[in-house]
């Protein structure tokens, strides 16, 4: 449990157009807040150390009648995402096999973590994927595999719920902009952000992360 | 520790390099989408680059009890998968059957090349599969706990539902016998044909082997050929024992033919292939094994009987395979602890 330290001021607006469009005009009126990114310590001896090359992520949150939206923007010199053909044939059959194009590429990704149930008091769940008494929901966007909702109650417990959520992404001028619609990200909800840089083999706990912030 | 450990012994003196095992496995398990480049069982020429290329040099396994860093093999390291211009060749005529792309590396790129020692060529075939290790580095490396070793038979499997495709296991495996299905985002590997083993049927690779070089059974079954070859006769060794994973696939080391003009000399007196190379693959103990096998050969050549050689001939399946159905496994009384 980590004591709540930071507040993030959010905007309320009514979207005239697709709120998930990273270029929607309403996002220009929502003041971006720069969240410092921290790097997880080397967790895995099989991997080379990673560089701290993405120091921060800009976050905006808008509560609107259409829902609660978050927009994340961060600089990443390399775009690591791929469009993969669908795997249609799991085992056997009279068909030409669709190929795996690569074995060693990883995708850029981001995630927003929020408590799975309302927080009482000013203590947040563990930053390491919550804890047994304070489970979390994680909304992950991955440059190759798209959006997925995960749940966790502590480190190494994350699992996919099988659900997706509305998200949109664009990469331009060395920056990723990802918008997400997260219904439970209401005013006062604590949230934390994670960023993965595929070109340095980021995945899993090998990532950048923020401390807890609170949407106001 | 599992209650029982299934195991395979491969007699490298009998391997023809025909890849029938490779194809048996491919057709049974890895002909799905995203698995094009995967050969859970492969046969590579040694000395040689191996599959994936330089797998034995890029890391993995344990050092002082800790996982060793490793590179991740690229698709090109595994070798290209390509089609031939069958339609043009068959229906237009006048041209050779050619790959549809320039080929730079394949799983068996340097087949039969080998190496030279004192002007004479040597090589042998090394069939490889997951070693279903007693101390699996892949299992140790997986932060998702998606890899598990079955209590009933020691087979190591990847839970496809838990796997997130992080590929720490691929780095950790010193044998590079875990593959990544990019389309599914999952790690996949040899399952030791567990649905067959559970029914008392031998693995597809062993069943199809024309050289009859594979022996399959439970290491803790004193009646099994694998137990006798590994623990009683002590003529089979694991690959790269110093990597610390305690593999459960074992090899009877290859002799190669005598050198020209070395008639009457022992393999160790006048070896065709450098013993240092065999020590590199199987550890220092390989010298004792070769000495033991040569002694058995001399005994047989002198008109005596060698139980070891008789077993290694293994003409019939009941000699090579002792695989009780899973429901009968309880009857095996373990007598050996490694």
Q: Which pLDDT value is given to residue B81?
A: 86
Most B CBs within 10 Å: which of A48, A84, A103, as the mutation test of the B interface? A103
Q: Which pLDDT value is given to residue B128?
A: 98
Q: Is residue A22 part of a domain?
A: yes
Asked if A94 is an interface residue toward chain B (Cβ–Cβ < 8 A), one would say no
What is the phi/psi pair of residue A159, to 5°?
A: -150, 150
Secondary structure element (H or E) that encloses residue A177, with its range? strand A175-181
Mark residue B22 as left, alpha or beta (left: phi above 0; alpha: psi -120 to 50; beta: remaining): alpha
Q: Is residue A189 part of a domain?
A: yes
Residue count of chain A, please give it: 216
Beta strands at B214-218 and B186-189: parallel, antiparallel or unpaired: unpaired
Mean pLDDT for the stretch of residues A101-123? 93
How close, in Å, is residue B96 to chain A by CA atoms? 22
- Summarised one tens digit per residue, pLDDT across range A21-50 is 988 888 888 889 999 999 998 888 888 888
Asked if A101 is an interface residue toward chain B (Cβ–Cβ < 8 A), one would say yes
Q: Which pLDDT value is given to residue B330?
A: 67
Asked if A120 is an interface residue toward chain B (Cβ–Cβ < 8 A), one would say no
Residue written as tokens 């971006």?
A: A32
C-alpha distances out from residue B114 to B44, B49, B50, B110, B293, Å: 10, 10, 11, 8, 23
| Paired residues of B1 in beta bridges | none
Which CATH number is A21's domain given?
Answer: 2.60.40.1190
Q: Is residue A188 part of a domain?
A: yes
Q: Which pLDDT value is given to residue B250?
A: 98
First-residue to last-residue Cα distance in chain A: 20
How close, in Å, is residue B80 to chain A by CA atoms? 10
Q: Which pLDDT value is given to residue B107?
A: 93
> Hey, how many other C-beta atoms are within 10 angstroms of the C-beta on B216?
26
C-alpha distances out from residue B208 to A3, A213, B19, B212, B218, Å: 63, 61, 10, 8, 20
Asked if A205 is an interface residue toward chain B (Cβ–Cβ < 8 A), one would say yes
C-alpha distances out from residue A44 to A193, B67, B171, Å: 21, 8, 10
Residue written as tokens 């590997």?
A: B189
Alpha helices in chain A (DSSP H): 25-29
Q: Which pLDDT value is given to residue A17?
A: 62
Q: Is residue A72 part of a domain?
A: yes
Task: Look at residue A3 and tell me whether its pLDDT is greater than 50.
Answer: no
Candidates A90, A97, A204; nearest CB to B36: A97
Pick from B98, B99, B96: nearest CA to B82? B99
Helix (H, G, I), strand (E, B) or coil at B197: helix
DSSP state, B72? P
Beta strand residue intervals within A37-135, DSSP E: 38-39, 56-64, 67-75, 109-115, 123-124
Q: Which residues of B touch A152 (CB under 8 A)?
A: none
Secondary structure element (H or E) that encloses residue A159, with its range? strand A159-160
Cα–Cα distance for residue pair A155/B215, rounded to 1 Å? 42
Range of the domain at A154: 2-41+55-80+104-214
Asked if B186 is an interface residue toward chain A (Cβ–Cβ < 8 A), one would say no
The whole-chain average pLDDT of chain A stands at: 88
**Higher-pLDDT residue of A103, B100:** A103
Mean pLDDT for the stretch of residues A58-83? 94
Domain locations in chain B? 6-79+107-331
Q: Which residues of A touch B144 (CB under 8 A)?
A: 156, 204
Number of domains in chain A: 1
Candidates B31, B72, B166; nearest CB to A103: B72
Asked if B243 is an interface residue toward chain A (Cβ–Cβ < 8 A), one would say no
DSSP state, B112? T
Beta strands at A159-160 and A146-152: parallel, antiparallel or unpaired: antiparallel
Candidates A48, A87, A205; nearest CB to B184: A87
| Paired residues of A73 in beta bridges | A58, A177
Q: Which pLDDT value is given to residue A29?
A: 82
- Summarised one tens digit per residue, pLDDT across range A136-185 is 999 999 999 999 999 999 988 999 999 999 999 999 999 999 999 999 99
Pick from B66, B120, B79, B117: nearest CA to B244? B66
Q: Which pLDDT value is given to residue A11?
A: 59
- Summarised one tens digit per residue, pLDDT across range B242-255 is 999 999 999 999 98
Q: Which pLDDT value is given to residue A6?
A: 42
Q: Which pLDDT value is given to residue B177?
A: 98
- Summarised one tens digit per residue, pLDDT across range A127-148 is 999 999 999 999 999 999 999 9
Contact B74 A99 (CB under 8 A): no
> Hey, how many other C-beta atoms are within 10 angstroms of the C-beta on A198?
21
Q: Is residue A17 part of a domain?
A: yes
DSSP state, B328? G
Cα–Cα distance for residue pair A197/B279, rounded to 1 Å? 42
Give the torsion through C-alpha atoms of B180, B184, B186, B187, to 10 deg: -30
Between helix B285-301 and helix B275-282 the angle, nearest 10°, is 120
Which two structure tokens, joined as six digits, stand for B284? 């220092």
Contact B75 A100 (CB under 8 A): yes
Q: What is the b/e burial string over B310-335, where b = at least 16 CB atoms within 10 angstroms of the residue's CB? A: ebbebeeeeebbbbbeeeebeebeee
Task: Look at residue A7 and tell me whether its pLDDT is greater than 60.
Answer: no
Residue range B6-79+107-331, CATH number: 3.30.70.20
Q: What is the ipTM metric for this complex?
A: 0.90
**Higher-pLDDT residue of B188, A1:** B188
Q: Which pLDDT value is given to residue B269?
A: 85
How close, in Å, is residue B56 to chain A by CA atoms? 15
> pLDDT 10s digit of each residue in chain B, 338 long?
789 999 999 999 999 999 999 999 999 999 999 999 999 999 999 999 999 999 999 999 999 999 999 999 999 999 988 888 888 888 887 778 889 889 999 999 999 999 998 888 999 999 999 999 999 999 999 999 999 999 999 999 999 999 999 999 999 999 999 999 999 999 999 999 999 999 999 999 999 999 999 999 999 999 999 999 999 999 999 999 999 999 999 999 998 777 888 777 888 888 889 999 999 999 999 999 999 999 999 999 999 999 999 999 999 999 999 999 988 886 666 544 33
């Amino acid at each position: 449990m980590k004591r709540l330290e930071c507040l993030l001021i959010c905007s309320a607006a009514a979207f005239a157009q697709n709120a998930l469009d990273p270029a929607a005009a309403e996002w220009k009126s929502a003041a971006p807040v720069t969240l410092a990114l921290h790097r997880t310590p080397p967790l895995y001896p099989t991997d080379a150390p990673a560089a701290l090359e993405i120091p921060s992520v800009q976050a905006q949150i808008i509560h609107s009648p259409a829902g609660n939206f978050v927009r994340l923007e961060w600089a990443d010199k390399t775009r690591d995402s791929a469009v993969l053909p669908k795997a249609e044939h799991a085992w056997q059959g009279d068909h030409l096999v669709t190929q795996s194009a690569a074995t060693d590429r990883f995708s850029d990704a981001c995630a927003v973590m929020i408590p799975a149930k309302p927080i009482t008091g000013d203590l947040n769940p563990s930053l390491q994927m919550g804890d047994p008494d304070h489970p979390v929901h994680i909304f992950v966007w991955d440059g190759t595999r798209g959006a997925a909702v995960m749940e966790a109650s502590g480190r190494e417990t994350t699992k996919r719920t099988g659900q997706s959520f509305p998200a949109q992404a664009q990469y331009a001028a060395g920056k990723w902009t990802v918008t997400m619609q997260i219904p439970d990200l209401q005013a006062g909800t604590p949230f934390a952000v994670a960023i993965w840089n595929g070109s340095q083999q980021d995945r899993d706990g090998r990532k950048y992360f923020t401390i807890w912030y609170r949407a106001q | 520790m599992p209650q029982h450990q299934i195991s395979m012994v491969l007699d490298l003196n009998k391997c023809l390099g025909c890849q029938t095992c490779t194809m048996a496995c491919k057709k049974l398990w890895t002909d799905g989408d995203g698995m094009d480049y995967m050969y859970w069982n492969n046969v590579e020429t040694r000395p040689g680059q191996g599959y994936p290329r330089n797998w034995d040099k890029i890391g993995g396994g344990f050092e002082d009890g800790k996982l060793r860093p490793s590179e991740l093999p690229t698709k090109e390291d595994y070798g290209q998968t390509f089609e031939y211009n069958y339609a043009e060749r068959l229906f237009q005529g006048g041209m050779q059957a050619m790959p549809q792309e320039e080929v730079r590396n394949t799983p068996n790129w340097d087949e039969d090349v080998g190496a030279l020692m004192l002007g004479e060529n040597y090589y042998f075939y090394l069939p490889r599969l997951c070693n279903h290790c007693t101390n699996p580095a892949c299992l140790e490396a997986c932060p998702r706990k998606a890899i598990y070793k079955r209590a009933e038979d020691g087979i190591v499997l990847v839970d496809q539902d838990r796997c997130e495709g992080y590929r720490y296991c691929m780095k950790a495996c010193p044998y590079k016998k875990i593959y990544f299905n990019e389309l599914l985002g999952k790690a996949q590997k040899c399952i030791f044909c567990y649905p067959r083993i559970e029914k008392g049927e031998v693995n597809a690779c062993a069943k199809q082997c024309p050289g009859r070089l594979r022996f399959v059974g439970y290491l803790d079954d004193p009646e099994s050929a694998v137990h006798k070859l590994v623990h009683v006769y002590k003529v089979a060794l694991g690959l790269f024992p110093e990597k610390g994973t305690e593999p459960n696939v074992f090899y009877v080391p290859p002799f190669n033919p005598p050198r020209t003009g070395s008639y009457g000399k022992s393999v160790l007196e006048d070896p065709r292939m450098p013993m240092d190379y065999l020590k590199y693959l199987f550890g220092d103990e390989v010298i004792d094994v070769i000495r033991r096998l040569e002694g058995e050969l001399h005994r047989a050549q002198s008109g005596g009987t060698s139980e070891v050689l008789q077993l290694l001939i293994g003409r019939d399946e009941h000699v090579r395979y002792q695989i009780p159905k899973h429901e009968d496994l309880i009857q095996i009384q373990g007598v050996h602890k490694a």
